[in-house]
Amino acid sequence: MKWLKSFEGDFESRWRKVLERRTSSFEEVEVEVREIVKKVRDGGDGALVELTKCLDGLDLKPEEIELPKEGWQRASHVIGQDLKEALLRAKEEIEDFCRRALPRDWMDVKGGMVRGEIFKAVERVGVYVPGGKALYPSSVLMGVIPAVVAGVKEVIVVTPPPVSPVILYACEIAGATRLFQVGGAQAIAALALGTERIPRVDVIVGPGNRYVTAAKKILYGQVGIDILAGPSELLVLSDGSTSPWKAALDLLSQAEHDQDAWAVLVTPDEGYAREVEGSLYRLASQALRRDIVEKSLEKNGLIVLCRDLEEAFRLSNEFAPEHLELHLREPWEWLGEVKNAGSVFVGEDTPVVLGDYCAGPNHILPTGGSARFSSPLGVLNFMKRIQFLSVTAEALKGLCPVGARIAEEEGLEGHILALRGRMKDGEEGSDQPEDQGDRGSGQP
């Protein structure tokens, strides 16, 4: 792991380089992804079959792209009861969290005006679930359940083939509507553009590799997307009063995601930091994914030694981590200092892993510093706000001069007329400009 000390002279320049290095770039795959999008746009299901053979090494017929629901139900017979119970409990907690986050329509009556907002779910969404070398039923739950709770009528899951029974079971219990075994950038293109079998969706959510993310970036505007996700991140912020072992456990769990994951410790206590580092390397040496963990720690493992907790929170907010753990003596007293983070885990006995799987909060989170302006996936990603307004004649009189003056400044005569024309007691044409000639008289 690399060390940075905030009280050393070159710290700010080194810290800026760290922040800049986290900015995800998809330029190296953008040309390739644009070609994939074009193939899907032009070739539909045929292009999906061709790309699946070329990129995934699997021969599929067009009619095999969709996995019918009968197969989902049969999947439960080959899954262990303990796993089914774990997934059902996770579903229960995620649903409860989402229901509590549902927005409420509102209306206000003020001085002759009725104003408000109503919230409506989009009609159809696509949830991308990574696959291939690993299985992520948790991503099915995290992507599908908020959409279902929001009221989306059709929730489509896409995932690379072959599809495991546990993914089928997760789709069944989460409430997905349809499932297609197609992955990569071509799956995002199919959802955004539509094919013969895959309907066009309104919103696409879910994590994926750089090809998936590049496709989401390219197609944004033709379809709504959640976030442009990069490598996973954990920042542990500690005052040194908590267990170094627990911090090391959580940093290890982050580093095993992939070799680009970030595992960061920020603390004013150097002795504590060295204990965490020692424990982390001991854990890494025994890890099943040792190679990945060691590469991750070498590339993006970081210990930042700072002057005090105030500076620790400043640095954390600048980093804007995907996951933030507060390992503090009084963590709730400091929660208000968090300005930028995807999800916060308060106290040393609240590991990120609970958020990954089963405690309720979503694990699809902003990365690469985008927590400065982005939020976790939730019900709001699947909803639109619609405003409404109604005014009485009396309220119109009060607002008319205000709107007309602003319209006058902007040079929009029709806007002025739409306001002042209503103030003439309904006399049609009474507020027309004087120089109208004989328009409509039939005279030459």
| Domain range annotation of the chain | 2-24+231-360, 27-73+120-229, 392-423
Structure token digits, residue 311: 């500076």
Annotated catalytic, 323? yes
pLDDT at 439: 39
Tell me the whole-structure pTM to 2 decimals: 0.90
Whole-Å CA distances, 320 to 146, 223, 263, 308: 24, 27, 13, 18
Catalytic residue among 322, 325, 327, 363: 322
pLDDT lower than 50: segments of the chain: 429-444
3-state SS class at 420: helix
Which superfamily is assigned to 2-24+231-360 in CATH? Nitrogenase molybdenum iron protein domain (3.40.50.1980)
Annotated catalytic, 322? yes
pLDDT at 262: 95
| Bridge partner list, 88 | none
pLDDT at 227: 87
27-73+120-229 CATH choice from 3.30.450.90, 1.10.3720.10, 3.40.50.1980, 3.40.50.1100? 3.40.50.1980
Catalytic residue among 323, 325, 327, 363: 323
pLDDT at 70: 87
Q: Tokens 């009189």 appear where? A: 397
> Which residues does 152 contact at the CB level (< 8 Å), separation at least 6?
121, 122, 123, 124, 125, 382
Within 151-269, where are the H helices? Answer: 165-174, 184-193, 210-219, 244-255
pLDDT at 425: 58
- Burial letters for 283-298: b for 16+ Cβ neighbours within 10 Å, e otherwise? bbeeeebeebbbbbbe
Domains 2-24+231-360 and 27-73+120-229 share a fold: yes
pLDDT at 310: 97
